[in-house]
Amino acid sequence: MIHIKLKKGIVHEIEAGSSALDLACKLGLIAPHQAIGVKINDELVDFAFPLKEGDVVHFLDFDDEEGKYIYWHSSAHILAQAVLRLWPDAKPTIGPPIEQGFYYDFADLHISDEDFEAIEKEMQTIIKENYKTQRKVLRNKKEALVAFENNKYKRELIEGFEEDAPITAYQQGEFVDLCRGPHMPNLGKVKALKVLKTSGAYWRGDATREMLTRIYAITFPDRQRLKSFLVCLEEAKKRDHRLIGQKLDFFSLKEEGPGMPFIHPKGMIIWNALLDYWRECHDKAGYVEIKTPVMLSKELWIRSGHWQNYRQNMYTSEIEERAFAIKPMNCPGGMLYYKTKMHSYREFPLRVAEIGHVHRHEASGALSGLFRVRSFHQDDAHIYFTPEQMEDEILRVINLADEIYATFGLNYHLELSTRPEKETIGTDEEWERATTALKRALDRTERPYIINEGDGAFYGPKIDLHIKDAIGRSWQCGTIQLDMALPIAFDLEYVTVDGSRSRPIMIHRALYGSIERFFGVLIEHFAGKFPLWMSPRQVRLLPVADRHVEYAKKVSEHLETLKFHVEIDDSHESVSKKVRNAQLEQVNYMLTVGDRELEKQTITLRTRDNVVRGEMEVAAFIIKIEKERRERSLTSSFSKDG
């Protein structure tokens, strides 16, 4: 017998020679959502992995992020196997899991939505066959190339591997695929599935390469989760920011400027509310704001490393025989600002913020509304401090993010990405100090966080903030990135307490991230129903007849002096039609004025949720909405009345 340590330090005894699968069965972890994957001594392995004395074993369920990854990765192989059964001449290329489900790309395949039912039926057949996945080790590139000699796409991937490194493939029934794994122990854990859509995709994301057919799908360990997902998907379609943005006249995208949004007057009201709030928060938090040029010289981008590593995504120009580039990010300009004078430790922490307009060349096929654009604004900040200030300063950034996201009713979770295995800069001591400071700051928040081992940048570890919207979707917006590269590249210094020179610790951080993208997220989060403080249509007066228009104008002028966004619908439509139009345009408050209101100098209030709140004094209405605006309330001041 050998002794295995389980989660929470529980020790379990099992026969020598047992596998991880044997242990899972003995523990009764046989439900579809249980034992999706397994970690032994903190390493993801297959269930056939033999156990030895003292191993620490952690079984992953579907509710674990890594468990979902394995579940959907295994499911991608089911999809590929089904497609090859139906279209034997298709060539499978790659099929990774994504945030919601998975996709697989195929060459020599042409399908439409009408084929989805057949694919789903064949996937269900494969699942019923309940194959046990088998890991195969190919000793080297030569053996792997022979195994996949009929698939040029797999061969191209293999050519990129190290010469003598073992290469793995996974088999289920007749289907064998090049894959690192690991996989679920058997396919029968999949209990519900749906093919979602198909699209074109370039091989390896390169627009000069072949166009492939991509199939998106999702699977679950029970039908209820699939049902809930599909309901959420339908709700997401209703909230599509591109449709709402057009309907409510917030923004548009033109062929003359692909990926470069036009923000309309109503959209600018929301945009400015976002920036006003951002500036208020940052002023209170001790930031200064700067503005750096949009176009800077080639020499700067060489110094920052962007010219060598990012030029294909930059817009460049030549002026007076000198090369320039429109900035794809604000950081190098921020470094030049820092160097305009010598700084002292007495100034630290120095918090320098910028709403920077940046441009990045994205492939036209990747552009998507406000979510993926070529021209956007980032709410960057570069913060300089001493090593002793690092932990407290990181915590201050997290607390600022917490305050901002809460104002919009957005929950979030935190992820820490640590040092990659290869090609990093900085000493072991610097990485250890930085990572420890990030961890300590995260621990002080008392919020749970995920550690992504090895996913940091080559120049430092980072914290990502993933916000969750009203229907539970996750969006990565904020980031707190420690940077050891730019302070070295730009030779940044400060005067220490003893008069010597030292290099500052620097983080760059963004909280909205891309303001365009955050705007799009908020459109979908609120479904276009913005709270009063940032709504472009706060109040609309609805005169019953022409004789009531003058009184409506009087009320409107009073509200306008208080800086509310007010409109009058003086059309000849019926009141019910005016109300309907206002509701479709997501007006927060509708004020009907007729003979009674004119006589008593009152208004009759109807809220956006189509509840009539009745007749009231104008002054009483104003007191309520001024408080609602001042407090940036997410709910109506009248929601608790009546």
Sequence spans of domains, the chain: 2-61, 66-238, 246-292+327-526, 532-630
pLDDT tens for each residue of 128-141? 998 888 999 988 88
Q: Looking at the DSSP assignment, which residues form a beta bridge with residue 186?
A: 132
Tokens 């420690």, residue located: 482
Q: How confident is the model over 317-326, as a mean pLDDT? A: 93
Please check the confidence at residue 72 and state whether its pLDDT lies above 90.
yes
- Residue 357's pLDDT band (boundaries 50, 70, 90)? very high
Percentage of the chain exceeding pLDDT 90 = 70
Instruction: Return the pLDDT at 640.
Output: 56
Q: Is the pLDDT of residue 78 over 80?
A: yes
Per CATH, domain 246-292+327-526 is 1.10.3720.10: no
Specify the DSSP class assigned to residue 259: T
- Collect contacts of 492-495 with beta carbons under 8 A, ≥24 apart: 492/335, 492/338, 492/339, 492/384, 493/342, 493/343, 494/342, 494/343, 494/344, 494/345, 494/347, 494/348, 494/384, 495/342, 495/343, 495/344, 495/345
Contact of 494 with 348, CB cutoff 8 Å: yes
Fold assignment, 2-61: Ubiquitin-like (UB roll) (3.10.20)
Indicate the pLDDT class of residue 124, thresholds 50, 70 and 90: very high
The residues assigned a catalytic role are 331, 360, 378, 380, 382, 462, 508
Residue whose pair of structure tokens reads 């420890």 in the numeric block: 436
Q: How far apart are CA 506 and CA 540, in angstroms?
A: 48
pLDDT digits (tens, 9 = 90+) for 491-510: 999 999 999 999 999 999 99
* 3-class DSSP state of 124: helix
C-alpha distance from residue 179 to each of 70, 99, 138, 167, 621 (Å): 12, 19, 11, 8, 64
DSSP assignment of 292-335 equals: --SEEEHHHHHHHTHHHHTGGGS-EEEETTEEEEE-SSSHHHHH
| Average pLDDT for 234-261 | 93
Does the structure show a pLDDT above 70 at 380? yes
Task: Classify residue 289 by its DSSP letter.
Answer: E
Average pLDDT over residues 612-638: 94
The single residue listed with the structure tokens 């993933």 is 466
275-309 tens-digit pLDDT: 999 999 999 999 999 999 999 999 999 998 888 88
Same fold, 2-61 and 246-292+327-526: no
Confidence of residue 261 (pLDDT cuts 50, 70, 90): very high
pLDDT per position as a tens digit, 189-206: 999 999 999 998 889 877
pTM for the whole thing? 0.81
**Average pLDDT, rounded, for the chain:** 92
Q: Do the Cβ atoms of 23 and 2 come closer than 8 Å? A: no
The CATH H-level (homologous superfamily) assignment of domain 66-238 is: Threonyl-trna Synthetase; Chain A, domain 2 (3.30.980.10)
What mean pLDDT comes out for the span 541-549?
Answer: 95
Q: Residue 364 pLDDT > 70, yes or no?
A: yes
Q: What percent of the chain has pLDDT over 70?
A: 100
Confidence of residue 163 (pLDDT cuts 50, 70, 90): confident
Q: How far, CA to CA in Å, does 69 sit from each of 95, 198, 589?
A: 12, 21, 46
Mean pLDDT, range 435-440, rounded to an integer:
90
DSSP state of 503: P
Cα angle value 103/109/110 (rounded, 5°)? 100
Overall residue count recorded for the chain in this entry: 642
- Give domain 532-630's CATH number out of 3.40.50.800, 1.20.140.10, 3.40.50.300, 3.40.50.620: 3.40.50.800
Q: Is the pLDDT of residue 382 over 70?
A: yes
Q: What average pLDDT does range 316-338 have in this prediction?
A: 94
pLDDT of residue 472: 80
Query: pLDDT tens digits for 143-155?
Result: 899 999 999 999 9
More confident residue, 491 or 452: 491
DSSP annotation of 419: -
The per-residue b/e assignment along 594-630, b for 16 or more CB within 10 angstroms, e otherwise, is beebbeeebbbbbbbeeeebeebebeebbebbeebbe
Task: State the DSSP code for 193.
Answer: E
Measured from the Cβ of residue 487, the count of other Cβ atoms closer than 10 Å reads 19
Alpha carbons 376 and 378: distance in angstroms, whole number: 7
- CA separation for the pair 413, 422 (Å, rounded): 28
pLDDT 10s digits, 468-488: 888 888 888 889 998 888 898
Judge whether residue 641 has pLDDT over 70.
Answer: no
SS3 content of the chain, % helix, strand, coil (to 5): 40, 30, 35
Rounded Cα distance between 447 and 414, Å, is 8
Q: Is 42 left (phi over 0), alpha (psi -120 to 50) or beta?
A: left
Tokens representing 422 are 């290869």
